C-alpha cells in the first residue's frame, strides 16, 4: 500500500465560476472531496493554503518546503495542487531545496471545477499515478499536466487559457503518462540543494527593450533598496547601450546583477562585444544564468543570497 501525501494550496483547480463566468475560490476545496479509485493507494490530504497563485510568495513556498521536509520521509510520494500562474516558480523553489528523494508532483488546472471540460480532476488523478510510481523517484520536482511530465527547472506556462499551457522550451517534456504506465525520455540535470530557514530580500526583474536608456527604471534602483537584480535581456544576452552605465553603477555598488534572455528558447551567452553586448556585460560583472526564465532566475538568486553565498561562490552557483 503506497502512502501519498496531498497538499492543496488553492488555484483554479479548487475554484468555481459564477453565473457571470468570474472565477472565485471555494470556501471548501472540492479537490479534497474527490474519491480516488486507484489500487493500493492511501491518501493523507491537507489544505495548506487556499490562495489564487498570484497571491503565493516565496514565504509560502518556504512553508511548503518545511512541511515536506518535516513529514515527507513518512510517505512514498507527494502531490501538490497549485494555481498555474506561479506554479513553475513554486516547483523551481522546491526543486532547489533539500527534500526527501521521493516523487514530488505539482499539478493544477486551467479550468475551474464547474466549467465545461474542467481538467482538474484528471490532472489530479494523473499526478497521483506518477507520485506512486517507482520510475518517478530521484527525478526532482515534477510538473504533471495534460499527460506530460516536466522538470521543474525548465517548464513554463505558455498560454493564458489553453489546457495544454505547460511546455518545456528547447528540451521538451521528461516523459509522458500512458494509460497503464509512465514513459521517461530523459532525466533533469542534478541540482544544488539548499536548506534555508528564511527567505528575505527584494530582487526585481527588469525587461530590456529597444531604446532603453538612462531614464529607464534602472535609474531609480539603488543597492540600499534591493538585494539583487535580474535583467531579461535581448537576444543572446544584450541590452541597449544607454542602459549600460546604470547597470555598471549597480554592480559597482556591490549589487549582484544576473541576466537571462527574454527569448522563449535558447540560452543567454556573453557573445557580442559591442557596447551593451553580452561579452562586455559579462566583463563588467553581470552573471549569466543558463536555461532559466526570469522568474526562476530571480528565485535562484534570492535562494543563494539567503543561503549566504557571496563572491566567487555566488558567481559559480548562479552561472553553473
Cβ proximity of 185 and 172 under 8 Å: yes
Catalytic residues: 12
CA quadruple 288, 292, 298, 300: dihedral, nearest 10 = -90
To which H or E segment does residue 251 belong?
Answer: helix 244-252
Nearest residue to 237 (alpha-carbon basis) of 211, 268, 216, 266: 268
Strands 287-288 and 148-151, by their bridges, are unpaired
CA angle 151, 154, 160 (to 5 degrees): 105
Cα–Cα distance, 11 to 202 (Å, whole number): 25
Residues, the chain, total?
320
Q: Residue holding cell 549582484? A: 256
Amino acid at each position: 500500500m503506497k502512502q501519498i501525501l496531498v497538499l492543496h494550496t488553492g488555484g483554479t483547480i479548487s475554484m468555481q465560476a459564477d453565473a457571470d463566468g468570474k472565477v472565485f475560490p471555494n470556501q471548501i476545496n472540492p479537490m479534497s472531496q474527490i474519491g480516488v479509485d486507484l489500487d493500493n493507494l492511501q491518501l493523507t490530504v491537507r489544505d495548506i493554503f487556499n490562495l489564487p497563485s498570484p497571491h503565493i510568495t516565496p514565504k509560502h513556498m518556504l512553508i511548503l518546503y518545511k512541511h515536506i521536509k518535516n513529514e515527507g520521509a513518512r510517505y512514498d510520494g507527494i502531490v501538490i495542487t497549485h494555481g498555474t500562474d506561479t506554479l513553475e516558480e513554486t516547483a523551481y523553489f522546491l526543486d532547489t531545496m533539500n527534500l526527501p528523494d521521493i516523487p514530488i508532483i505539482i499539478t493544477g488546472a486551467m479550468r475551474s471545477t464547474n466549467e465545461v471540460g474542467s481538467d482538474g480532476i484528471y490532472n489530479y488523478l494523473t499526478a497521483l499515478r506518477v507520485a506512486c510510481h517507482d520510475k518517478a523517484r530521484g527525478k526532482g520536482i515534477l510538473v504533471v499536466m495534460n499527460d506530460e511530465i516536466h522538470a521543474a527547472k525548465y517548464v513554463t506556462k505558455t498560454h493564458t487559457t489553453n489546457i495544454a499551457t505547460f511546455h518545456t522550451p528547447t528540451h521538451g517534456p521528461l516523459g509522458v503518462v500512458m494509460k497503464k504506465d509512465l514513459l521517461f525520455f530523459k532525466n533533469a540535470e542534478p541540482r544544488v540543494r539548499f536548506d534555508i530557514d528564511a527567505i528575505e530580500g527584494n530582487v526585481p526583474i527588469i525587461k530590456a527593450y529597444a531604446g532603453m536608456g538612462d531614464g529607464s527604471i534602472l535609474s531609480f534602483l539603488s543597492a540600499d533598496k534591493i538585494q539583487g537584480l535580474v535583467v531579461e535581456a535581448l537576444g543572446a544576452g544584450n541590452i541597449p547601450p544607454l542602459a549600460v552605465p546604470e547597470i555598471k553603477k549597480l554592480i559597482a555598488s556591490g549589487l549582484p546583477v544576473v541576466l537571462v534572455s527574454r527569448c522563449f528558447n535558447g540560452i543567454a551567452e556573453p557573445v557580442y562585444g559591442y557596447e551593451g553586448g553580452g561579452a562586455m556585460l559579462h566583463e563588467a560583472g553581470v552573471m549569466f544564468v543558463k536555461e532559466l526564465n526570469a522568474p526562476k532566475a530571480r528565485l535562484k538568486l534570492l535562494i543563494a543570497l539567503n543561503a549566504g553565498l557571496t563572491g566567487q561562490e555566488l558567481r559559480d552557483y548562479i552561472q553553473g
